[in-house]
Amino acid sequence: MMLVLPQSVFRVQICVRSWRCIRGVARSPSFDTKSIPELPYAENISLAWKQLKPYKVKPVETKTPILFLHGLFGSKLSFNKVARKLSEITLSPAYAVDLRNHGESPHVLPHTYLQMAHDVYNFIKEREWESCILVGHSMGAKVAMLVSLLYPQLVEMLVVVDNSPRSMPLGDKFTNALLGMCEAEKIAFKFKQRSQVERVTEIKEIDEFLEQYIEDKNLRELVMSNLLINRKDLTNIHVKNKVKELFKIPVMNFWKNDVIGAMGEWPDLSVEKYEDPVLVIHGKKSDFVTTKDFGLFHEYFTNIQFKELDCGHWVSQEKPFEFVYLLMRFIQPDMKMSEEEVRRIVEDR
CATH code for the domain of 108: 3.40.50.1820
Residue 80 sits in the same domain as residue 164: yes
Residue 330 lies in a domain: yes
Residue 336 lies in a domain: yes
Asked if residue 15 has pLDDT above 50, the reply is no
Contacts within 8 Å (CB) and 24+ apart, 189-194: 191/246
Average pLDDT, the chain: 90
Residue finishing a domain among 225, 242, 261: 261
Residue 299 sits in the same domain as residue 188: no
Residue type, 76: K
Asked if residue 21 has pLDDT above 60, the reply is no
This prediction's pTM: 0.91
The whole-number pLDDT of residue 23 equals 44
**Of 196 and 45, the one with more pLDDT:** 45
- What percentage of the chain reaches a pLDDT higher than 90? 79
Asked if residue 193 has pLDDT above 60, the reply is yes
Structural domain of 226: 172-261
Residue finishing a domain among 191, 226, 261: 261
Residue 47 sits in the same domain as residue 186: no
Q: Tell me: the pLDDT tens digits for 133-143?
A: 999 999 999 99
Strands 49-51 and 25-27: unpaired
Residue 186 sits in the same domain as residue 157: no
Residue 126 lies in a domain: yes
The torsion defined by the Cα of 193, 181, 222 and 101, in degrees rounded to 10, comes to: -100
Residue 65 sits in the same domain as residue 158: yes
Residue 186 sits in the same domain as residue 57: no
Residue 321 sits in the same domain as residue 243: no
Asked if residue 233 has pLDDT above 90, the reply is no
Residue 196 lies in a domain: yes
3-state secondary structure of 76: coil
Residue 325 lies in a domain: yes
Residue finishing a domain among 261, 290, 310: 261
Asked if residue 278 has pLDDT above 60, the reply is yes
Residue 305 sits in the same domain as residue 254: no
Are 305 and 333 within 8 A, CB to CB?
no
Structural domain tally of the chain? 2
